[in-house]
Structure 1
Amino acid sequence: MIQRDFYLKRIIHTMWNGEVKVITGIRRCGKSVLLFNLFYEFLLSQGVHEDHIIKIELDQRRYYKFRNPITLCEYVETLILKQKDEKFYLFIDEVQLTTRVADKGNEGIEVSIYDMLNELRAYKNLDVYVTGSNSKGLSKDIATEFRGRATQIYVFPLSFEEFYSYIGGDEHKALDTYMLYGGMPRLLALKDDRDKKNYLTSLYSELYVKDIVERNGIEREDILNDILDFLASQISSLTNPTNIANTLSSMKREKVNSTLVSNYIQYMIDSFLISMAKRYDVKGKNYFKYPNKYYYTDIGLRNARLNYRQYDPGHIMENIIYNELLRCGYSVDVGVVTDRRGGANVQKEIDFVVNDADKKIYIQSAFQMNTEKKESSELASLMLTKDFFKKIIVRMDISHNFYDDNGIYHCNLIDLLLGRAELF
């Protein structure tokens, strides 16, 4: 079992902080294993007794009754109030499966899981942890729902570093596999390529798409699937709902409303299937409304969506870098700088403007820079910033890292993903 120390350390750091720990992320990325196996084993290793760890898995039939938040709350209270001097831990899996119910003992006021967890959080001898797969069941504004008393821990599929720690061997061969199949943990138990492809395809059609349709009452599943196909084929490219709507209108020979497209994209983001990177004016220090970039949370799911027909390593590499930066907790935007040399007024792109509190770096993703034209193109936008923040080009065609004459750091992708290159 992969230890996932990156996330485990974050959970341990939040123990007994007085807040509800909310572990979110795309379904099947390993949230339950993280909480119910890895963190559970850690607690046992620290001398916590098994009967002081209350585990409720709401997707299991024997726990269905606890989908009623009042029933759940009352059950937990019966356990922890008997031994007020003892510390207890509460684990709830798939908390989005709970329902809103009327509190008959309180004039029929409607009660949600948020109300009950806020109530349980107040007990001094209870530390609360929950997992959830989407922001339809877990509000997009978790801090508000928990009245400012929640710590959110977002879990990604396996990073390349986690993936490689398990399979080992040649780093380049491992990266080729990762760029094709991604990091969904279940894949590590599958040895046959056909089984891996079938698993990812099944996840997409039988889990993610159905989830989005059912939770949002989507009537045009065909349009949803068309948008998913479009975004999968356009990762790392600028687009917007109007452009997508126009493309679909032409393809389907019917008018597709851009507002509908925008809503469907938001549902995909809410399900953690894709994420959106906004464009940021480096000099003007403001955001553009459109167009934006969209990236898949797992590159293997993206490739499966396209039935492995569109394997473009440059765009895949950019998607992986974006996910890695987010996983590390950085704020990531797409940078825009304007080239006004010679009377021109041309916008040029920096793949990523990365912020860590008051620190900032610029990153370009370049699969290879094998011509002077390609090298000039990649360097130009970085040089136009005319500031002193660190500038990095991540490449696949160099064997060692170096600084060029302009002070730009050229970094090998594998070194970046395995933590062998310092960003800040």
Structure 2
Amino acid sequence: MALLTKIQVMEILSDWNDWNDWNDWNDWNYRKKDYDAFGKYLNRPKYQDKIELFRDSGEIIVLTGIRRSGKSTLLKLEMKALSETVDKKCLLYVNFEDLRLYNCDNEDILSLIFTTYRENINPDGEVYLFLDEVQNVSGWEKWVYTLYELNQAKIYITGSSSKMLSSDIATALSGRHLSIEVYPLTFMEYLSFKGVTCGSLLDYTSKKIQINRLFNEYIKSGGFPKIANLKTELKHEELISYYNTILVKDIAGRYNIDHKKLENLTYYLLSNDTKKNSINSISKALGYNYATVESYVNALKEAYMFFSIRNYDYSLKKQLKSDNKYYSFDTGFVNAVSFKFSENIGRLYENVVFNELKRRGYEIFFLNQNNSECDFIIKKRDEVVGACQVCYDLNNHNMQREVDGLIMACKNFGLDKGYIITESRSELMSFNGIDIEVMAITQFLLF
């Protein structure tokens, strides 16, 4: 590794930090335009409130999530909040996606950056340190832990790998951190980005046409913040760019694996999302060995490309042996890479509902039993709290199947009510002592 000189470090820090007066934060853009997630730094109160709560703990704050989900912007919004009470020279932001730092990939660069900053900008004041995409620096954990233990900085870090939540990282930081997973926009956030408020059922009913139009955009192009405000003709190309960068940089490059095989596997999973699969069935379909498929799937999950769920069973051993269902982190990838929107809209609905349940903090399973299946078994802590089916159109052809699967799930877990989420149908039904609420997907997402 070739270390930079202090002059080179100062040039990089000056590019990413404006220690001059900020007259209007919303008009201030970092010089590296590519890293400005959405220009005006629109608020995401759910995350900002949680960061503020964690700030008071004094612990290391860790933001993880898929690339371009808004982690960097949340750091900048936190800097904005701090700048109201803290001297701007106390704020130090470093982005390890900067090409000038690529060959400086161990903890020595962290020491050099911090020393240079102390010598030239903030010799003895408090420090709020923001390390963006820090997983690019090997050994960062011990360096950060030491800085924390010596009480030399309040530390915020981001990373695009779920490994930053693993037991290894928790051990390295000795429980000194609090973590937040950052997702692409919820549909409610998407509406906000589009300037539409929906805080009540009155709003929902009076703006239903506009809400439905924006939902069609949302399910087709996904919820990445920058893409939400792009012109329609640019969204596909931007999604493909995100997709390729994640595969090449966050997975193939990091794990030194075969890019073509990874690409084929990812295409297969995106084309078969929401369907039951096993590592064995995938390896047979692609003609790859079992170990390769298993390691590649794990790498895709660590980079937040996919989540997986298992068939619910009271026996953990049986759960682990069951097939998985895979869900894309963002439906934009499904449409951009694998298939046409109109031909698979039912699967997209299921994927959107899964992502919303995941964001709400639930543990999710499916249930296949006695030739009936329920899409989602919803668990909170140690208790099953809900069951739901998802279909685009509930009609005479699928009504029996959807209802039977839901009743089977409700009876298994002692639930007196289940849900069917569909495009627009809304009604209450009752079968075999189980109440069933049918609701429009936009209603589910917003309330």
2:390 corresponds, among 365, 382, 388, to 365
> What SS is found at the alignment partner of 1:215?
helix
1:211 corresponds, among 250, 256, 261, to 250
Shift of 1:388: 3.3
Quick one: distance in 2 between partners of 1:308 and 1:145?
A: 45
Quick one: distance in 2 between partners of 1:210 and 1:59?
A: 10
Answer yes or no: is 1:97 the counterpart of 2:136.
Answer: yes
2:179 corresponds, among 127, 149, 152, to 152
Shift of 1:187: 1.2
Distance verdict in 2 for CA 1:268–1:350, change over 3 Å: same
2:276/2:324 contact within 8 Å kept: yes
Per the alignment, residue 9 of structure 1 pairs with 49
Moved more, 72-81 or 18-27: 72-81
Answer yes or no: is 1:227 the counterpart of 2:265.
Answer: yes
1:187 corresponds, among 202, 227, 240, to 227
- The structure whose residues are more often helix, as a share, is 2
Matched ranges for 1:197-346 at <5 A: 197-219=236-258, 221-249=259-287, 256-281=288-313, 287-306=319-338, 308=340, 311-336=343-368, 338=369, 346=370
1:352/1:362 contact within 8 Å kept: yes
TM score, norm. by length of structure 2: 0.79
Shift of 1:149: 2.0
Matched ranges for 1:108-119 at <5 A: 112-119=139-146
1:334/1:350 contact within 8 Å kept: yes
Matched ranges for 1:60-71 at <5 A: 60=98, 67-71=105-109
Shift of 1:60: 2.6
Name the amino acid aligned to 1:175: F
Name the amino acid aligned to 2:98: Q
Distance verdict in 2 for CA 1:296–1:70, change over 3 Å: same
> 1:9-58, CA deviations, whole angstroms, 9 ceiling, x for partnerless residues?
1111111424321111111111101112x11112223x122112221222
2:393/2:423 contact within 8 Å kept: yes
Moved more, 10-19 or 131-140: 131-140
Shift of 1:240: 1.0
Distance verdict in 2 for CA 1:76–1:284, change over 3 Å: closer
2:430/2:436 contact within 8 Å kept: yes
Quick one: distance in 1 between partners of 2:240 and 2:123?
A: 48
2:393/2:422 contact within 8 Å kept: yes
2:91/2:128 contact within 8 Å kept: yes
TM score, norm. by length of structure 1: 0.83
> What SS is found at the alignment partner of 2:435?
coil
Name the amino acid aligned to 2:133: E
Matched ranges for 1:25-44 at <5 A: 25-36=65-76, 38-44=77-83
Quick one: distance in 1 between partners of 2:99 and 2:286?
A: 42
Distance verdict in 2 for CA 1:180–1:151, change over 3 Å: same
Moved more, 176-185 or 128-137: 128-137
2:190 corresponds, among 145, 163, 175, to 163
Per the alignment, residue 24 of structure 1 pairs with 64
2:220/2:341 contact within 8 Å kept: no
Per the alignment, residue 396 of structure 1 pairs with 423
Answer yes or no: is 1:174 the counterpart of 2:214.
Answer: yes
Distance verdict in 2 for CA 1:68–1:225, change over 3 Å: closer
Shift of 1:143: 1.6
Moved more, 74-83 or 270-279: 74-83
Distance verdict in 2 for CA 1:69–1:278, change over 3 Å: same
> 1:293-332, CA deviations, whole angstroms, 9 ceiling, x for partnerless residues?
0011010012111263774111001111111111122211
Distance verdict in 2 for CA 1:222–1:126, change over 3 Å: closer
Per the alignment, residue 444 of structure 2 pairs with 416
Quick one: distance in 1 between partners of 2:69 and 2:316?
A: 38
Per the alignment, residue 379 of structure 1 pairs with 403
Per the alignment, residue 14 of structure 2 pairs with none
RMSD: 2.7
2:145/2:172 contact within 8 Å kept: no
Shift of 1:62: 6.3
Distance verdict in 2 for CA 1:356–1:134, change over 3 Å: same
> What SS is found at the alignment partner of 2:312?
strand
Quick one: distance in 1 between partners of 2:153 and 2:73?
A: 21
Name the amino acid aligned to 1:275: F
Per the alignment, residue 54 of structure 1 pairs with 92
Quick one: distance in 1 between partners of 2:232 and 2:337?
A: 19
Shift of 1:415: 1.2
Quick one: distance in 2 between partners of 1:267 and 1:140?
A: 16
- Long gaps (5+) in structure 1: 100-111, 250-255, 339-345
> What SS is found at the alignment partner of 2:353?
helix
